Amino acid sequence: MLSQQITTLIDKELTKYPADQRQSAVMAALRFVQDEKGWIAPEDMADVAVYLGMPQMAVYEVATFYHMYNLKPMGKHTLTVCTNLSCTLCGAGDTVAYLEQKLGIKMNEVTPDGKFGLREGECMGACVDAPLLNVNNKKMCGKLTPAKIDGILADLEGGKA
């Protein structure tokens, strides 16, 4: 079941579109689910489909097409590291290696305490700040160095997201 909070947000989103085009709100709806639950379970996709009056498979297509949607639990803080060309040229490989070593997990894994998840991402459109990572698809951190990464992780550990 979608929470009251999510349906309220979806309803607000729906006012942006024509009444017979409810499926226009699908991306936003999935985002609200992920914001609340950290990931989107198939049952949630089915609920979104029912709520928006669209085929379940169509929701699944959207949810699997965009890599920002987590299809499995990815921890409290999902760190998405860009590994596209610009970032890689500027040392994204080192960023990934450092994060993996520091967190003790590999890509697409979650730390045992469920705090951090690590994902590979696509270009975030801010190559000027390469290498980049994104926290929970909300906060972008650029010009990464080991020291800066330590700072980000410490902030997140300390509850400052």
Partner 1 sequence: MINIEIDGKKIQTENGSTVIEAAHQAGIAIPHFCYHKKLSIAANCRMCLVQVEKAPKPLPACATPVSEGMKVFTHSEQAVKAQKGVMEFLLINHPLDCPICDQGGECMLQDMSVGYGNGHSRYHEEKRMVLSKDIGPLVSAEEMSRCINCTRCVRFGQEIAGQMELGQAFRGEHAEIMSFVSGTVDSELSGNMIDLCPVGALTSKPFRYKARSWELSRRRSVSAHDSLGSGLAVHTKDNRVLRVLPIENDDINECWLSDRDRFAYEGLNSDQRLTKPMIKQGGQWQEVDWQAALEFCANGLRQIAGGAGAEQIGALATGNSTLEEMYLLQKLLRGIGSDNVDFRLRQSDFSADGKQQGAPWLGISVSDIGRADRILIVGSFLRKDHPLLAARIRQAVKRGAQLNVIHSADDDLLMKIANKSIVAPGGLVEALSKVALGVAAKQTDGIAGSLAGGERVAVLLGNFAQQHPQAAQLQALAQQIAAATQGKFGFIGESANSVGGYLVNAIPASNGLNAAAMLAAPRKAYVLLNVEPELDCADAQQAIAAMQAADLVIAMSAYRHGATEYADVLLPIAPYSETSGTFISSEGRVQSFNGAVKPLGEARPAWKVLRVLGNLLKVDGFDYETSQAVRDEALQGVDVAAKLNNAVSAIESKPTAVIGLQRVADVPIYATDAIVRRAMSLQATSDAAQPKVWLHSKELSKLGVAAGAQVKVAQGQGSALLEVAADDGLPEGVVRVAAGHPMTATLGAMFGTITVERA
Under the rule (CB under 8 A), what is the footprint of partner 1?
42, 45-46, 55-58, 60-61, 64-65
- Residue 60 CA to residue 54 CA, distance in Å, equals 11
- Residue 65 CA to residue 51 CA, distance in Å, equals 20
Which lies closer to partner 1 via its Cβ, residue 45 or residue 135?
Answer: 45
Min separation Cβ 58 and partner 1, Å: 6
Which lies closer to partner 1 via its Cβ, residue 28 or residue 41?
Answer: 41
Taking a C-beta distance cutoff of 8 angstroms, is the pair 40, 62 a contact? Answer: no
Min separation Cβ 48 and partner 1, Å: 12
- Residue 50 CA to residue 31 CA, distance in Å, equals 16
Min separation Cβ 79 and partner 1, Å: 21
Which lies closer to partner 1 via its Cβ, residue 57 or residue 154?
Answer: 57
- Residue 119 CA to residue 8 CA, distance in Å, equals 30
